[in-house]
Amino acid sequence: MDEQIKAFAGILIAVVFALDGLLHLYWATGRVWPASDQLSLIQLVLNSNKTRLLRPRTLVSIAGILFLGALTALARVHRLGVLGQLMPEPLLQLGILVIATGLLLRGLAGIGWVFGWLAAKSALFYRLNLLVYTPLCLVLFVAAVAAARF
């Protein structure tokens, strides 16, 4: 049963990271869905007014990191592909722990935003953070801890 939980956790992380990576590649093409323009998109996603963060090079780099995280999660729990066969188990374990740490930090930052720090409660970002971003990061943190177990 423990192996099934670990496998499910790794697959969950991989799927969410891969979908997020695809979304970043989509934005790198200049499209702004689900927003109407770049400013609205960056406010929705990052609670920022810095549209320069939506440059293709930045978005493609983020997508690459997300895809690497997805592959690491799969390799850790299934020993699949090049990563799973070429990378030593301790390095894959470290990769999952890095993923878990990042998710925990984002989840904790999100809790700060929930309490109204750094985000106006009237902003759409505030509601998305409350209902989607922070809960998802905390759930994925738990999944990463499960996937990291020996």
Distances (CA, A) of 121 to 21, 54, 110, 137: 28, 24, 13, 20
- CA 129-118-142 angle, to 5 degrees, is 40
Q: How confident is the model over 2-22, as a mean pLDDT?
A: 93
For residue 7, pLDDT over 70 is answered with yes
Give the pLDDT score at 30. 96
CB atoms inside a 10 Å sphere around CB 118: 12
Helix (H, G, I), strand (E, B) or coil at 29: coil
Q: What percent of the chain has pLDDT over 70?
A: 94
Query: What are the helix (H) ranges across 56-88?
Result: 56-78, 81-86
Mind listing the pLDDT tens digit for each residue in 75-131? 888 765 555 567 778 888 899 999 999 999 999 999 988 887 777 777 888 889 999
Give the pLDDT score at 47. 87
Helix (H, G, I), strand (E, B) or coil at 107: helix
Distances (CA, A) of 46 to 7, 40, 68, 77: 31, 10, 22, 31
Mind listing the pLDDT tens digit for each residue in 41-57? 999 998 889 999 999 99
Q: What is the pTM of this model?
A: 0.91
- Nearest-angstrom CA–CA distance, 109 and 117: 9
